[in-house]
């Protein structure tokens, strides 16, 4: 059985819930990613922000016009998040994405319950396309 740990992105970039959106926007482009886990001051995952959240919620100009430059990640992130242990099957993760219309799941270590990675719909598609081992 193929597990999500075999396909996930390990040690993903994270952002803080109180970071300004304008600080986060360049991360998507610079790292060529679409989902970033959001952590609180203790480092616990509390949400997920996606490039689509930013694009769909507001354009940068609307963000500046309506909210000013100090909009925080916590104001547009997705909550609650989906998370699975690393031994969950890739099929189960893919079904959860389809059923819940989501594109990213936090992957946690079973022993520590700490985030060890994320699996995204892109990871699943790259695996199916033969682009990921």
Q: Provide the 8-state DSSP code for 102.
A: -
Average pLDDT over residues 101-129: 94
Average pLDDT over residues 16-34: 93
Q: By the 8 A CB rule, do 81 and 12 touch?
A: no
The residues, ordered by sequence, that sit 6+ positions from 128 with a Cβ below 8 Å of its Cβ are none
Average pLDDT over residues 46-62: 80
Task: State the pLDDT at residue 28.
Answer: 94
Separation between Cα atoms, residue 20 and residue 88, nearest integer Å: 34
pTM, entire model = 0.69
Separation between Cα atoms, residue 98 and residue 36, nearest integer Å: 19
In the predicted model, what is the mean pLDDT of the chain? Answer: 90
The Cα-based distances of 2 to 54, 64, 73, 77, 102 in angstroms read: 33, 45, 34, 30, 20
């Amino acid at each position: 059985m193929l597990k999500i740990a075999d396909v996930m992105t390990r040690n993903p970039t994270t952002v803080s819930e109180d970071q300004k959106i304008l600080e986060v926007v360049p991360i998507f482009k610079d790292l060529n990613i679409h989902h970033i886990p959001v952590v609180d001051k203790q480092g616990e995952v509390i949400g997920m922000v996606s490039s689509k959240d930013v694009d769909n919620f507001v354009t940068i100009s609307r963000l500046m016009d309506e909210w000013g430059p100090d909009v925080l990640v916590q104001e547009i992130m997705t909550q609650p998040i989906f998370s699975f242990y690393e031994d969950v099957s890739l099929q189960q993760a893919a079904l959860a994405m389809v059923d819940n219309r989501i594109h990213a799941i936090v992957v946690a270590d079973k022993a520590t319950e700490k985030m060890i990675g994320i699996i995204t719909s892109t990871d699943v598609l790259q695996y199916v396309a033969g682009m990921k081992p």
